[in-house]
Amino acid sequence: MALGYWRAGRAHDVAEFELYFRCCPFGGAFVLAAGLRDCVRFLRTFHLRDTDVQFLASVLPPDTEPAFFAHLRSLDCSGVTVRALPEGSLAFPGVPLLQVSGPLLLVQLLETPLLCMVSYASLVATNAARLRLIAGPEKRLLEMGLRRAQGPDGGLTASTYSYLGGFDGSSNVLAGQLRGVPVGGTLAHSFITSFSGTEVPPSPMLAPASGEGSAMNLATRVEAWLEPVCAHLELGVQVPHRGERAAFVAYALAFPRSFQGLLDSYSVQRSGLPNFLAVALALGQLGYQAVGVRLDSGDLLQQAQAVRGVLRTTAAHFQVPWLESVPITVSNNIDEEQLVRLTNEGSEVNVIGIGTSLVTCPRQPSLGCVYKLVAVGGQPRMKLTEEAEKQTLPGSKAAFRLLDTDGSLLLDLLQLADEPPPQAGRELKVWQKGAQEPQTVRPAHVEPLLQLCVQQGQLCKPLPSLAESRALAQLSLSRLSPAHKRLQNPEPYQVALSEQLQALVDRLRTQDQQ
């Protein structure tokens, strides 16, 4: 296509494309816009290296003019302008996430990378937002999907934009280093099963948390606590797994201030829980408090309730009040349906780790964004096709969000860029999709949606931090009505056209039919 534009003498024609999606994913009624920071970073460094151009020369026709390759070498985004929905904004079908204008050949080449960076980021942010809506504000949600992601780039994107969508952190340390995502994790079953119980810690002594007083042999103190714990739990002659206990001791020596136990390597009730309690109580003697337990198999809700019961009775029995409120983390292929159960009233679960169903978006693995030409040389362009859903809206456009007096969202309005913007308190006629007649609305407030972020290749203002975009996402969702936030059978949000834009659409359709 680039060669075709160049040979036609159209490489420098000024063109505008819009990047948007046609349908909301997962059967929902909203999307969270994401990926803008990646797009801007890409645009500011875009160029073709000599090796890139040499490869292109090897796959294009051998008689391709050398001047074309010289043109490719000269490409950069110094002539590109981008307007966009801020990251974390609510987005709806047909409303541009990005508007990209610049030389036709160049902005055509940008189609695939921009789609790649926006589509998945917005999809996973939306998926995370849905899971957050199910979990409510109190449960901590951790993204733990890097091992199941579609490659390291997909994993980093998922870790980044699940945080934007409402998760509290990630186990992906690279996302913390590169993107500022809060990181957290736990120990794996392999750590526990690697111990047999015969290992002797090279440094078993642990000093008190206060820094005052004598150090204690933690392994010895754990063994001393094991008998009263087992008696309290009425385990009889059943002895908890020695290797598991040794693993917990090793982990506690490494992380005395953040000790946690993975309870289901052998048996939660007969081994994991008593071993954890023995270590937690030994640490407690030195002024440390365990920070949690994790369950990773079985009926997670039922097990969490049973574990909480044991924590409460043990705390009362040994007069250690903090023990009863130790957070319980669960993981194990949790999806939306399981999350509903885990967050229902009466659940004792505090932290939920979600991996596969978050990062792979199995219910809908693609948002289906498109990148369509809307204007060339200031003249509108429209794709007219037999499939009505694939027809495009012509012309350079502006977008506005119309709000009611109470701040609730009425609809999004698309209009031609040279139209005067809608005014708060004034009536205007708008066309809903498929309507035969316009409707009249009177917005109490009007918000412009698309912000100028790159002008002629220059960043107009610093992009918000990831944490700021996350805060915007939560604010945006709080303004959406419950009917639109429903995860099942939501009420569709309305996107309307101005009278002038609708008239342009009708005129171009008529011209095509003549």
Per the CB < 8 A criterion, the answer to whether 114 and 39 are in contact is: yes
For residues 429 and 497, membership in a common domain is answered with yes
How much of the chain exceeds pLDDT 90, in percent?
94
For residues 327 and 462, membership in a common domain is answered with no
| Mean pLDDT within 280-307 | 96
Of the listed ranges 11-25, 402-416, 429-443, the least confidently predicted one is: 429-443
DSSP state of 74: H
pLDDT in tens, 175-201: 999 999 999 988 999 999 999 999 988
CB atoms within 10 A of CB 242: 16
CATH number for the domain spanning 439: value is 3.20.140.10
CATH number for the domain spanning 254: value is 3.20.20.70
Residue partners of 435: CB distance under 8 A and separation at least 6? none
Residue 170 has pLDDT above 90, yes or no: yes
Does residue 175 form part of some domain?
no
pLDDT at residue 514, rounded to an integer: 63
> Which of 290, 321, 354 corresponds to the end of one domain?
354
H or E element in which residue 412 lies: strand 409-416
- How many independent structural domains does the chain possess? 2
For residues 342 and 457, membership in a common domain is answered with no
Look up residue 376 and give its two tokens.
């060339």
For residues 251 and 389, membership in a common domain is answered with no
> Which of 326, 354, 382 corresponds to the end of one domain?
354
Which residue type is seen at 430? V
For residues 198 and 337, membership in a common domain is answered with yes
Does residue 274 form part of some domain?
yes
How much of the chain exceeds pLDDT 70, in percent?
100
Does residue 226 form part of some domain?
yes
H helical segments located in 146-298: 151-164, 173-179, 189-193, 218-233, 242-254, 273-285
Does residue 385 form part of some domain?
yes
For residues 346 and 378, membership in a common domain is answered with no
Buried b / exposed e over 3-36, threshold 16 CB at 10 Å, is bebbeeeebeeebbbbbbbeebbbebbbbbbbbb
Residue 43 has pLDDT above 90, yes or no: yes
> Which of 290, 322, 354 corresponds to the end of one domain?
354
Per the CB < 8 A criterion, the answer to whether 264 and 241 are in contact is: no
Closest alpha carbon to 21 in 427, 495, 497, 464: 495
Alpha-carbon span 263 to 261, nearest angstrom: 6
The HSE-up count of residue 209 (CA atoms within 13 Å, CB side) is 15
pLDDT in tens, 364-394: 999 999 999 999 999 999 998 878 888 999 9
Alpha-carbon span 164 to 456, nearest angstrom: 28
For residues 316 and 380, membership in a common domain is answered with no
| Mean pLDDT within 290-303 | 96
CB atoms within 10 A of CB 295: 24
Give me the domain span that covers residue 314.
Answer: 185-354
- The full DSSP string for 255-322 is -TTS-EEE--SS-IIIIIHHHHHHHHHHHHHTT----EEEE-SS-HHHHHHHHHHHHHHHHHHTT-GG
Per the CB < 8 A criterion, the answer to whether 135 and 358 are in contact is: no
pLDDT in tens, 1-42: 999 999 999 999 999 999 999 999 999 999 999 999 999 999
For residues 82 and 191, membership in a common domain is answered with no
Residues found in the chain: 514
For residues 323 and 371, membership in a common domain is answered with no
Does residue 135 form part of some domain?
no
For residues 253 and 398, membership in a common domain is answered with no
For residues 384 and 446, membership in a common domain is answered with yes
Which residue type is seen at 432? Q
For residues 404 and 317, membership in a common domain is answered with no
Does residue 467 form part of some domain?
yes
Residue 251 has pLDDT above 80, yes or no: yes
Does residue 79 form part of some domain?
yes
Residue 439 has pLDDT above 70, yes or no: yes
Angle of the 111-135 helix axis to the 36-45 helix axis, nearest 10 = 160
Residue 345 has pLDDT above 90, yes or no: no
Residue 501 has pLDDT above 80, yes or no: yes
Strands 292-295 and 328-330: parallel
Its pTM stands at 0.95
Alpha-carbon span 124 to 500, nearest angstrom: 35
pLDDT in tens, 98-144: 999 999 999 999 999 999 999 999 999 999 999 999 999 999 999 99
Q: How far is CA 480 from CA 31, 133, 490, in A?
A: 11, 12, 12
What's the whole-number average pLDDT of the chain?
96
Does residue 171 form part of some domain?
no
Look up residue 237 and give its two tokens.
């002659």
Angle of the 111-135 helix axis to the 151-164 helix axis, nearest 10 = 50
